[in-house]
Structure 1
Amino acid sequence: MSEWTEDHLPDQRGRVAVVTGANTGIGFATARALAARGAHVVLACRDLDRARTAVDRIAQSAPEARLDVVRLDLASLASVRAAAEEIRERLPRIDLLVNNAGITGLRGRTGDGFEVQFGVNHLGHFALTGLVLDRLLPVPGSRVVTVSSIAHRYGRIDDVDDLRPARDTDTGARPENSVFTYARSKLANLMFTYELQRRLSAAGAPTTALAAHPGGASTEIFRNSPGWFRAPNLLIAKLLGRSPEMGALPTLRAAADPEARGGEYYGPGGLFEVQGYPRRVASSPRSRDADNQRRLWEASERLTEVIYPF
């Protein structure tokens, strides 16, 4: 199959999907496509008004769609726990969890004291996944798909035992470069996926973990990035026709392609993985370090106080 498109998305009737950050960009395109194929989609978003607007937009093109919203602020572990509890109360089963939400370009800390991009992009999703995993584990064919980025190749996690960086705007010291802290969080997304798949396999669970990246896509994620980083990314995305719908294709393939397997990583198949249709791609050697994956997992459990129910 040379060009996997939305037309290849299988019938999703009977499946329940939770998509974080589904009110805009790639998350919205993912939720819309799944709903159009018949899935019951829960949009887990920080801003409920924007989430409800997204529901209305999806309903215009898919009036039969079953859609719900849950408030989820990944920068707050209290909010993550509340959202997970609401999801568990509403949903006796989950077929698909898409960890899509993400931020870039922001500096500072979450309310729990973590560097904000690492806290939202990795730790928030780590906690959410662990807190709702019991709704996926009994479901044959269930999947956890986490959205990473090409930028993971520039990320480093040299000391997984110290993920609360001392350098921050409230210390008077020079803040960390936001682009490289973003890259670190996206590297963590992949390390989390591979370690989750290893543990799921060891437990004999029917659930699988996969990752995806959108390549270059014109979305709101760059709105807080420095101009030197934001402008060329958006220009390249527009020149290459990388709409949110194209950017969502790797996620959708990881989420629903019957041939996709646990531990795989999907991205655009074109030049430098910036454009093209989704295919299985390779990640950096750092992301494949099994010892660092395990240590990151253990550190994430300590920091979030979420222990997975294998």
Structure 2
Amino acid sequence: MYFLYTILAALSFYYVLKWMKRRRYFTELQRLDGKTALITGGNSGIGKETAIALARRGARVIIACRDSDKAVKAVRDIKLKSHSLNVLHMELDLANLRSVKDFCTRFLHSEKRLDILINSAGMPSVLDWTDNGFSMCFGVNHLGHFLLTNLLLHRLKECAPSRVVTLTCSIYKYQKLNFQDLNYNLLPFFTYCRSKLANIYFSQELARITEGKGVTSYAVHPGFVQSGWTCHYSFLFRMLMTVIMWMFFVPCEVGAQTVVYCAVSDEAAKHNGGYFVDCRPASLRPFARDAGVAKKLWEASERMVKLA
């Protein structure tokens, strides 16, 4: 009898975990032939799965990442899984503003189209600094993508209708921005929360300033995903998180569904500046919908990256 109870308890636990990880799949197969998609951090995790999905739909896919060796392997894998040869990589280090500017110069010179920009690359909560003296989380997750998007914005307008999808996280709700110390880097987890809140404000303000110009913007929480972000931490922490992620987090392919939805779906296009979870619009905390704060952050970010 004890054995039976153990089996029932194990099965119950398994199905509870499965229920907790249930997600919608985006199954619409709109073609993207003739369109170009740029994905930061496309060599792994959600970015890579997004690249596969867009390449499979016929898009020309460019993954932008720092590690060239990993990028070469990722391009090979994306081509194999998407059955598309129209995939390539370009070097980009979001922790270095000079690298961002050089990348944009090379991209604009070599690529005539940009229809979809996926700001997917991200840095977890680590106590570190960028080459320009910004906290690593805020510098990579927000400022690097802020500068990249602005320098490519004219090309996005030329190729309208075009879309910008920026990955954020639901933990934005645990912090508010402090404009006296945007570069806060004392408690890494709170720094990460602030960077994800900044992603939301950025997406909203981008939608406002490009209203009527053919560029739409979306912030996406992909869910908690079994990605490789733990590589920045100790061996023991990685082992612990491997177990936790297996139990509660979703695979990268599942996490990419909402990103692809916002990049492709006609329905998503109706919610410019929206926040999306599980392939549908979701509500935000009131403080995360403050247009005044979004505009103030945009202006502060322009000064921080010295954007004329």
* TM-score normalized with structure 2 length: 0.87
Of 157, 160, 163, the residue aligned with 1:137 is 157
Partners of 2:52 and 2:78 within 8 A in 1:
yes
Q: Confirm or deny that 1:218 pairs with 2:237.
A: no
Q: Confirm or deny that 1:254 pairs with 2:255.
A: no
How big is the shift at 1:240? 4.4
Unpaired segments ≥5 residues, structure 1: 166-174, 269-277
Of 276, 293, 302, the residue aligned with 1:266 is 276
Q: Confirm or deny that 1:164 pairs with 2:183.
A: yes
For structure 1, which segment, 207-216 or 5-14, has the greater mean C-alpha deviation from structure 2 after superposition?
5-14
Partners of 1:6 and 1:249 within 8 A in 2:
yes
Runs of 4+ in 1 over 3 A off after TM superposition: 225-237
Instruction: Give the aligned length.
Output: 285
**Partner residue in 1 for 2:252:** 244
How big is the shift at 1:266? 1.3
**Partner residue in 1 for 2:281:** 280
Could you report, residue by residue, the CA deviation over 1:192-232 in whole angstroms, capped at 9, with x for unpaired residues?
0001101111xx20011111011111001233258998777
Partners of 2:29 and 2:181 lie apart in 1 by: 41
**Partner residue in 2 for 1:178:** 188
**Partner residue in 1 for 2:300:** 299
How big is the shift at 1:43? 0.4
**Partner residue in 1 for 2:63:** 43
For structure 1, which segment, 298-307 or 36-45, has the greater mean C-alpha deviation from structure 2 after superposition?
298-307
Q: Answer with 1 or 2: which has the greater Rg.
A: 2
Could you report, residue by residue, the CA deviation over 1:267-291 in whole angstroms, capped at 9, with x for unpaired residues?
12xxxxxxxxx22112222221111
Partners of 1:21 and 1:45 within 8 A in 2:
yes
Partners of 2:248 and 2:127 lie apart in 1 by: 30
**Partner residue in 2 for 1:169:** none
Unpaired segments ≥5 residues, structure 2: 1-22
Of 133, 157, 171, the residue aligned with 1:151 is 171
**Partner residue in 1 for 2:142:** 122
Partners of 1:65 and 1:281 lie apart in 2 by: 36
For structure 1, which segment, 279-288 or 245-254, has the greater mean C-alpha deviation from structure 2 after superposition?
279-288
Q: Which amino acid aligns with 1:264?
A: G
Partners of 1:288 and 1:64 lie apart in 2 by: 40
Partners of 1:29 and 1:235 lie apart in 2 by: 22
Partners of 1:43 and 1:69 within 8 A in 2:
yes
Partners of 1:236 and 1:54 lie apart in 2 by: 26
For structure 1, which segment, 232-241 or 109-118, has the greater mean C-alpha deviation from structure 2 after superposition?
232-241
Residues 228 and 205 (structure 1), Cα distance of their counterparts in 2 relative to 1, 3 Å cut: farther
Partners of 2:230 and 2:272 lie apart in 1 by: 29
Q: Which has the higher helix share?
A: 2
Could you report, residue by residue, the CA deviation over 1:27-55 in whole angstroms, capped at 9, with x for unpaired residues?
00000110111110000001111111000
**Partner residue in 1 for 2:100:** 80
For structure 1, which segment, 93-102 or 213-222, has the greater mean C-alpha deviation from structure 2 after superposition?
213-222
Q: Confirm or deny that 1:69 pairs with 2:89.
A: yes
Partners of 1:248 and 1:284 lie apart in 2 by: 23
Q: Confirm or deny that 1:207 pairs with 2:215.
A: yes
How big is the shift at 1:236? 4.7
Structure 2 matches for 1:188-203, cutoff 5 A? 188-201=198-211
Q: Percent identity?
A: 38
Partners of 1:235 and 1:280 lie apart in 2 by: 30
Residues 221 and 302 (structure 1), Cα distance of their counterparts in 2 relative to 1, 3 Å cut: same
Residues 279 and 240 (structure 1), Cα distance of their counterparts in 2 relative to 1, 3 Å cut: farther
Partners of 1:43 and 1:223 lie apart in 2 by: 20
**Partner residue in 2 for 1:7:** 27
**Partner residue in 1 for 2:131:** 111
Partners of 1:127 and 1:300 lie apart in 2 by: 9
* TM-score normalized with structure 1 length: 0.86
Residues 85 and 118 (structure 1), Cα distance of their counterparts in 2 relative to 1, 3 Å cut: same
The DSSP-based 3-state class of the residue aligned with 1:280 is: coil
Of 76, 88, 94, the residue aligned with 1:56 is 76
Could you report, residue by residue, the CA deviation over 1:57-81 in whole angstroms, capped at 9, with x for unpaired residues?
0111233330121111000000000
RMSD between aligned residues: 2.1
